[in-house]
A and B are shown apart, each in its own frame.
Chain A
Amino acid sequence: MFEWLKNSLEEHVSLTKEEWEYFKNYFRPKRMLKRQFLLQEGDVCRELAFVEKGSLYSYTVDSAGNKHVIRFAFEGWWMANLHSFFTEQPTRLNIEILENSELLMLDRKNHDKLLEELPAYERYNRIILQNAYVALQQRVENALGLTAEEKYDRLIEESPAFLNRVPLNLVASYLGVSPETLSRVRGNYNR
């Protein structure tokens, strides 16, 4: 139930056995089913979610009812709306379960407590936020400056998991291209 979290931590910091036992009891294990909502627009995001199994994705819905995918999360990834989490303002995002999932939830109070009491978590958290910021910057750069073909190339390079686990309409939405364009790009790519 905690394997991916343990691996994720150990990748960046080292924890004693006692520290790990102390650490993991701050997480709320939550199993969720495909198409359920972890968070809906208008609510405050009160917890960070770590994916132990399955996948989920965050998106906004525009006034015409179109979904705009912000990001996905698979095993070993974190998911939340940090803006809402840190400001306690209602979120504009929805977070939905893509595949049946096992999550570990960490609320703000416990997150703050761990930051204060466990220096290893503070360091881990800094690295995770740093990586998330870099990923976000790359995503903005890709969205602004690349052609549909280039965006698709990057995606395959960076996250091959996308290809077989995410429906094409969501991949298209994530890349900011129409499903028709994506299908053309994929056609060219496979040739």
Chain B
Amino acid sequence: MSITKQTIAIVGAGVSMGSAIAKSIAGGNYRLLLFDTNLEQLGSLSEEILQDHPEADFEHMSCPHESSWEADIIILALPHSAEKELAEKIRDVAIQKIVISIANPIDEEFSKLTTRPETSAAEELQQWLPHSKVIKAFNTTFAADFEQPVIDGKQTDAFIAGDDEDALKTVTELLETVGFNPIIAGDLSVSGTLERMQLLLMQLTIENDYNWHAGWKILHN
């Protein structure tokens, strides 16, 4: 973990996953730049952050471009359908930066992925941001897991995929800050598998009533 503080922009910080990520890393050695078009949600997020971390270093931002320019790491907490437009807005300031794709491109009925079988949300994002280091992370966990990453006595696994070794290391540290057990699953082409894993977890959650607090765990010797 570096001594110099890293700056993380969360675009879509007001919605459930974005808020959950913000709250869970606010206690780490990070400066958080929070952007959302819904200012009311952003306001209540601030109150919640300050309750748990009075010393937290964070700021509300008025534009995704400014947030991304100041950031070392950009987390896109948006539905995949909104990512292309956003990518165009931040492309020039996201060059060589870690951009975390948390999106699962799942249809409204939770029946299938909306991306073509040979690609994934993360790989599409990489195409839209060709000079950024796209990393797939935070997509195999529900928002509730961030508050309680230990489920049934076991630390939830959190899978990461990406092509840049240093970026994978940085994101691993981020997941450790949250309290997950990070597992590097492979290069960015593994993203499709990770997105399908979450589709399955969602289907099983609905089927078996896991109350949207469930996660994956690899048991091993």
* Beta-carbon contact of B3 and A1 below 8 Å: no
* B4 within 8 A of partner (CB): yes
| B residues 55-100 touching A (CB-CB < 8 Å) | 66, 69-70, 72, 92-93, 95-97
**A 37-65 binary contact with B (CB < 8 Å = 1; else 0):** 11111110000000000000000000000
Given contacts A26-B96, A27-B95, A105-B96, whether A32 and B70 have CB atoms under 8 Å apart is yes
* Beta-carbon contact of A27 and B96 below 8 Å: yes
CB distance from B53 to the nearest CB of A (A): 19
| B residues 92-128 touching A (CB-CB < 8 Å) | 92-93, 95-97
* Beta-carbon contact of A43 and B4 below 8 Å: yes
Instruction: State the 6 A-B residue pairs at the shortest beta-carbon distance, nearest first.
Output: A28-B96, A40-B4, A31-B69, A25-B131, A40-B3, A42-B3
Give complex CA distance A188, B93 in Å: 47
* A29 within 8 A of partner (CB): yes
* B5 within 8 A of partner (CB): yes
**A 95-110 binary contact with B (CB < 8 Å = 1; else 0):** 0000000000101011
CB distance from A150 to the nearest CB of B (A): 36
* Beta-carbon contact of B72 and A30 below 8 Å: yes
Residues of B with C-beta under 8 A to A31: 66, 69-70, 93
Give complex CA distance A43, B3 in Å: 6
Q: Which of A28, A32, A42 has the most chain B CB atoms closer than 10 A to its own CB?
A: A28
Contact residues of B: prevailing secondary structure:
loop
Contact of B92 among A1, A40, A42 (CB under 8 A): A1
Sample of 20 A–B contacts (CB below 8 Å): A1-B92, A25-B96, A26-B96, A28-B96, A28-B97, A29-B69, A29-B92, A29-B93, A29-B95, A30-B69, A31-B93, A32-B70, A40-B3, A41-B3, A42-B3, A43-B2, A43-B3, A43-B4, A109-B166, A110-B96
CB distance from A41 to the nearest CB of B (A): 7
Residues of A with C-beta under 8 A to B2: 43
Residues of A with C-beta under 8 A to B96: 25-28, 105, 107, 110
CB distance from B5 to the nearest CB of A (A): 7
Residues of A with C-beta under 8 A to B131: 25
* Beta-carbon contact of B95 and A28 below 8 Å: yes
Give complex CA distance A137, B153 in Å: 62
Give complex CA distance A39, B97 in Å: 17
User: Looking across the interface, which residue of chain B has its beta carbon closest to that of A29?
Assistant: B93
Give complex CA distance A41, B2 in Å: 10
Residues of B with C-beta under 8 A to A110: 96
Give complex CA distance A37, B95 in Å: 21
* Beta-carbon contact of B4 and A30 below 8 Å: no
Residues of B with C-beta under 8 A to A28: 95-97
CB distance from A86 to the nearest CB of B (A): 17
Residues of A with C-beta under 8 A to B166: 107, 109
User: Looking across the interface, which residue of chain A has its beta carbon closest to that of B71?
Assistant: A30
Give complex CA distance A33, B57 in Å: 14
User: Looking across the interface, which residue of chain B has its beta carbon closest to that of A106?
Assistant: B96
**A 45-89 binary contact with B (CB < 8 Å = 1; else 0):** 000000000000000000000000000000000000000000000
Other than the given A28-B95, A30-B69, A42-B3, 11 more pairs (CB < 8 A) read: A25-B131, A26-B96, A28-B97, A29-B92, A29-B93, A30-B72, A31-B70, A37-B5, A38-B4, A43-B3, A109-B166
| A residues 164-188 touching B (CB-CB < 8 Å) | none
Give complex CA distance A38, B2 in Å: 12
Give complex CA distance A105, B96 in Å: 9
* Beta-carbon contact of B4 and A39 below 8 Å: yes
User: Looking across the interface, which residue of chain B has its beta carbon closest to that of A24?
Assistant: B95
Residues of B with C-beta under 8 A to A105: 96
User: Looking across the interface, which residue of chain B has its beta carbon closest to that of A95?
Assistant: B4
